Chains A and B, each alone.
Chain A
Amino acid sequence: MRQHKLIAALACLLLFAAACGDDDDTESSSSGSDSGGSAGEAVTIEGGDDMNSILLPKCTGIAVFDQANEGAQEAAEELGTSEPEFLGPSTCEDPTGQIETMTNAATQGVDAVMISNNAGEQIQSGVDAATDADVSVVSWDSPIPSGEGESLFVAQVDFDETGVVMADMALDILGDEGGQLAILSASPDASNQNAWIEAFNTALEDEKYANLELVDTVYGNDDSDESYNQALGLIDSHPDLKLIMAPTTVGIAAAGKAMTDEGLCDQVKVSGLGLPEEMRGYTQSGCAPEFALWSFVDLGYLTYYATYGIATGQFDAVEGQKFTAGRMGEYTIEKDPTRDSGLRIVMGPFTVYTEDNIDD
């Protein structure tokens, strides 16, 4: 009997060893050298201090987030600091994974977490835990709705402008006669998509878009299968639908595939925010004549630089503060007009992709 228990215990110990054996033990170094840089003068962010950080995407396994990680790794290399840990939930469906990673970050005592928030207001408990532990929290891509605990939001583009860009693309595709369109979004708790949808709705109120009729908004949770089915569902419930507007790279690609598979590309067009690599075929076939995006590599790069500057005390995240972030140039921190409170920098610009520039 003793032997059996011994074997069982050994088996369990082996499991631990296998699971935990290969972590690199990184001690967090003290941050904060010279705090300075008065407003008005741009602080050039420089390397020197080490920063342990976590890059927390909405979920892993999505191309644009991998690109953002690429950019962040590039920035870390330039600054000569530890590579950011790219950690996130395995599905975009479940926001609790982000809360867990955020709360763990507080326990780990990392210097900074860079998050693309997919948990809406639910993330707040995690953010509070992190800031209590002096972890700098910078959001990118999708902000913390309340702005509380977040030093800065690195906005890819101006969120109101996103609404106008989407409305313009819709008008371009549908022409003056207009028609019915529907939105296929990511998750209902994604702060960025929700803000864009709101901005899109606001934009549509303009006379110019009077003939565009938004009939439905559905959510595919940034899951290809689910988004595909939601796109097909839209066709069934709205026989006169002319356009699916998907402000998410997963959604737009899934909608493009759904329309192509069903041979519906002549009746229902697809537009929104998409990755050129994933959309090329649909643009060339005329299924998705126009869509827009920005560089996620640049977004990750800029986010890392800004976070590094804040976490190492090179500048404070206050309104009017200017800083220079490597190859991306100079930015000024401003109030985020799309939220009640919170600070942001806007990266920009939008690139609108059509048949003419998709191969560039």
Chain B
Amino acid sequence: MRSWSRERSWEVLLALILVGTIAYNATQSDVYLDVDNFVNIFRLSIEKVIIAVAMTFVIVSGEIDLSVASVMAFSACTLAFAYDSGVPFWLAIVLALVAAAAAGLLQGWVIASTGISSLVVTLAGLIGFRGAARVLLEDRSIGDFPAWFGDVGRADFIGPMPFGLVLFLVLLVLGGIVLHRSVVGRRLFVLGDNAEVARFSGIDVARTKVLLFIASAFVAGVAGVLFAARLGSVRANIGEGFELDIITMVLLGGVSIFGGSGTLLGVALAIGIVLNLRNGLGLANVESNTQTGVIGVLLIASVLAQNALDRLPLRRSGADAQEAAA
């Protein structure tokens, strides 16, 4: 019975869509199936997919982090600003990561201590940290980073894979273990399902939330550094609107926006679908506006489909409740 829970059937559907997308793209372009193209597909969106892993944790816990793209820019701008002011490059990277983690600490602390919804707090973060990035760099574009740093963003690291892609895969596996096979993960699910229950079962809700937002911001900070490495220069407006693409991937992956359910495998499949779809549409010379539209429609369809799955008789028999209790 369990294998046909809502999550499993959603994953099967996603896998089918992914296979369909890949099969369709393969008929459209002879080079689509090249390893290089697959690497490129990820390379072009590596920052988003890395953040999506962290976002899965946040949403499963019943929270949301809208500030990730701004924190990413804030981190990259801190790096560029520090380096431009004469700070050694390695220290500039450390500062960038510390700045990002501090941004997460601040937001997590406000959320945990005041009880204000993370939607509101991180919306303020979205505006605030973007503003901070603009204060740091104003209108400038700062580049000329050391050559090795460019290699981190572009050169092959293991086989044909750049560093960012390896990092993503490692994060995905580690994240999967932590979220689905550890006590920490189980607590996050309980927290997302019902914060009251979590409190009564001895989970330090406030501390968990603070750590959650620090982790989310830190990963966004890492993504910001990778973005700087990949593009070779930084501006305050980088990654504007990324948060929506990231949340789209997570929700399409079957993670409930209300928290308490979802799998990282589903998110990984959704990432595969979104990236391959975009790539396929790009190879078919479909305009970027239309691409965004298609992905928007896909998200709506996915939410409707999930809703339909939720109404299945099987679900009413309490498969989900069993799972939460497990």
Chain A, 1-22, CB within 8 A of any chain B CB: 1, 4-5, 7-9, 11-13, 15-16, 18-20
Task: Verify if A47 is at the interface (C-beta below 8 Å from B).
Answer: no
> Which of B139, B279, B286, B312 lies in contact with A219, CB distance below 8 A?
B139
Task: Verify if A121 is at the interface (C-beta below 8 Å from B).
Answer: yes
> Which applies to chain A's interface (DSSP): helix, strand, loop or mixed?
helix
The total of chain B residues at the interface (CB under 8 A) is: 56
Say whether A11 contacts B13, CB under 8 Å.
no
Task: Verify if B313 is at the interface (C-beta below 8 Å from A).
Answer: yes
> Which of A7, A93, A124, A129 lies in contact with B232, CB distance below 8 A?
A124
Chain A window 210-254, contacts with chain B (Cβ cutoff 8 Å), 1 for yes, 0 for no: 000000011101000000000000000000000000000000000
Bound CA–CA A107/B25 (angstroms): 12
> Which A residues lie within 8 Å of B21 (CB)?
16
Q: Looking at the complex, which of B26-34, B195-203, B257-265 is the stretch in contact with chain A?
A: B26-34
> Which B residues lie within 8 Å of A122 (CB)?
231-233
> Which applies to chain B's interface (DSSP): helix, strand, loop or mixed?
helix
Say whether B154 contacts A125, CB under 8 Å.
yes
> Which of A16, A107, A125 lies in contact with B20, CB distance below 8 A?
A16
Say whether A188 contacts B140, CB under 8 Å.
yes
Task: Verify if B244 is at the interface (C-beta below 8 Å from A).
Answer: no
Task: Verify if B44 is at the interface (C-beta below 8 Å from A).
Answer: yes
Task: Verify if A201 is at the interface (C-beta below 8 Å from B).
Answer: no
> Which of B231, B285, B304 lies in contact with A23, CB distance below 8 A?
B285
Say whether B31 contacts A108, CB under 8 Å.
yes
> Which A residues lie within 8 Å of B294 (CB)?
15, 18-19
Chain A residue, CB-CB nearest to B143: A121
> Which A residues lie within 8 Å of B114 (CB)?
none
Say whether B24 contacts A107, CB under 8 Å.
no
Task: Verify if A71 is at the interface (C-beta below 8 Å from B).
Answer: no
> Which A residues lie within 8 Å of B30 (CB)?
109
Say whether B141 contacts A120, CB under 8 Å.
yes
Task: Verify if A95 is at the interface (C-beta below 8 Å from B).
Answer: yes
Task: Verify if B322 is at the interface (C-beta below 8 Å from A).
Answer: no
The total of chain A residues at the interface (CB under 8 A) is: 50
> Which B residues lie within 8 Å of A25 (CB)?
28
B76 to chain A, nearest CB (A): 12
Say whether A129 contacts B31, CB under 8 Å.
no
Bound CA–CA A267/B15 (angstroms): 64
> Which B residues lie within 8 Å of A95 (CB)?
231
Chain A window 116-128, contacts with chain B (Cβ cutoff 8 Å), 1 for yes, 0 for no: 0001111011000
Say whether B40 contacts A20, CB under 8 Å.
no
Say whether A16 contacts B301, CB under 8 Å.
no
Task: Verify if A148 is at the interface (C-beta below 8 Å from B).
Answer: no
> Which B residues lie within 8 Å of A217 (CB)?
139
A85 to chain B, nearest CB (A): 5
Task: Verify if A60 is at the interface (C-beta below 8 Å from B).
Answer: yes
Say whether A20 contacts B286, CB under 8 Å.
yes
> Which B residues lie within 8 Å of A7 (CB)?
305, 308
Question: Provided the pairs A99-B44, A121-B233 are in contact, do residues A8 and B283 lie with their beta carbons within 8 angstroms?
Answer: no
Task: Verify if A276 is at the interface (C-beta below 8 Å from B).
Answer: no
Q: A9-B17, A11-B304, A88-B288 are in contact. List 14 more A-B contacts (CB 8 A).
A: A1-B312, A7-B308, A19-B286, A20-B24, A20-B286, A23-B285, A93-B240, A94-B240, A101-B282, A104-B283, A107-B32, A188-B235, A217-B139, A221-B237
List the 3 closest pairs (A to B, CB-CB), nearest first: A8-B305, A23-B284, A188-B141
Binding site for A on B (CB under 8 A): 9, 13, 16-17, 20-21, 24, 28-32, 34, 36-37, 40, 43-44, 139-141, 143, 153-154, 230-233, 235, 237, 240, 277, 279-290, 294, 297-298, 301, 304-305, 308-309, 311-314
